[in-house]
Amino acid sequence: MIDKQNNRLGWLFASPYLIYGLIFFIGPLIWSFYLAFTNWDLIAPTYDFVGLKNFTKALASPGVQASFWVTYKFMMLFVPLVTVMSLAVAVLVQGLPKFKSLYLIGFFLPYLSSGVVSSLIAKGFLSYNSPVNNFLRNTFGLDIDWLGTPISALAIVGIILAWKFTGYYALILTSGLESIDREVYEAAAIDGVTNRQRFWRITLPLLYPALYTTLILSFGVTFGIFTEVYQLTGGGPNYATNTWQMEIYSQAFKNLQAGYASAIAIMASVVTFISIFVIRKLLEGWGKRNGWV
């Protein structure tokens, strides 16, 4: 009797999320699958079922192919960058004698800033006639087309994202650092370990749970990049920064091909799920080697 009552209570407490998920996630997801097999633009009174045509078209599309590779390029740049930066911030803040929270809030602020605003500031900063470029041209003779060159455009977006997420991840890592038992360090000090050994052999392995979280989050970010790319490069030059989201947006809202865009969204989901699954397994393997799993 008590079990049944508890069950009911459990369902009751979970119901807001379940209802929300049903209306705003499961329903639309099913409809998105349906749309992916049509040529509907959501406006025309009639449409046809086109079978797998949207998917085959997407596979052959240079825009979609670019999205696939661009995501992994961003991953290779963004994940190490944001991990090193957030780890550095966390370690430095942890070493402060006081005002740790204040510093952490300072680093966290970019996470709250609008992607549109930070992109526009970056755009102004990197423009041909900005003081930075004038200085580079006049002093070193360097004339760099920051957003018009594939490598630098990719790097700029990656750096902006790293700047934005560093504070957030540093917050998670700081709490991870705080949870490491001081006695371990004291014992290590008695054993005469160097600072480098202390970091690589003690801190990093013991930080695994927090690092696992930030790494999974940062890998996830690379599959969802949109605002910065939309504002800064529009996916260019030559698709060099064309993310999945840019491609979906372009097809759905510029070309009015909702069915095709849904097919791309599904493909993006599959790629994301598989990638995150593989990454998770690799990270868990690392954790296992350090006795965490």
Contact between 255 and other proteins by CB under 8 A: the answer reads yes
Which residues between 7 and 46 bind other proteins (CB under 8 A)? 23-25, 27-29, 31-32, 35, 41-45
**Taking a C-beta distance cutoff of 8 angstroms, is the pair 197, 87 a contact?**
no
Contact between 51 and other proteins by CB under 8 A: the answer reads no
Among residues 221, 229, 240, 283, the one that binds other proteins under rule CB under 8 A: 221
- CA-to-CA separations, 62 to 67, 68, 191, 228, 244, in angstroms, rounded: 9, 10, 58, 21, 12
- Binding residue count for other proteins, defined by CB under 8 A: 57
Output the smallest distance, CB 262 to other proteins, in A.
7
Between 193 and 271, name the residue whose CB sits nearer to other proteins.
271
Stretch that binds other proteins, among 7-15, 92-100, 103-111, 226-234 (CB under 8 A): 226-234
**Taking a C-beta distance cutoff of 8 angstroms, is the pair 126, 157 a contact?**
no
Contact between 90 and other proteins by CB under 8 A: the answer reads no
Between 13 and 277, name the residue whose CB sits nearer to other proteins.
277
Among residues 253, 282, 285, 288, the one that binds other proteins under rule CB under 8 A: 253
Positions in the binding site for other proteins (CB under 8 A): 23-25, 27-29, 31-32, 35, 41-45, 123-124, 126-130, 137, 145-148, 216-217, 219-221, 223-226, 230, 234, 236-238, 244-245, 248-249, 252-256, 258, 261-262, 265, 268-269, 272, 276
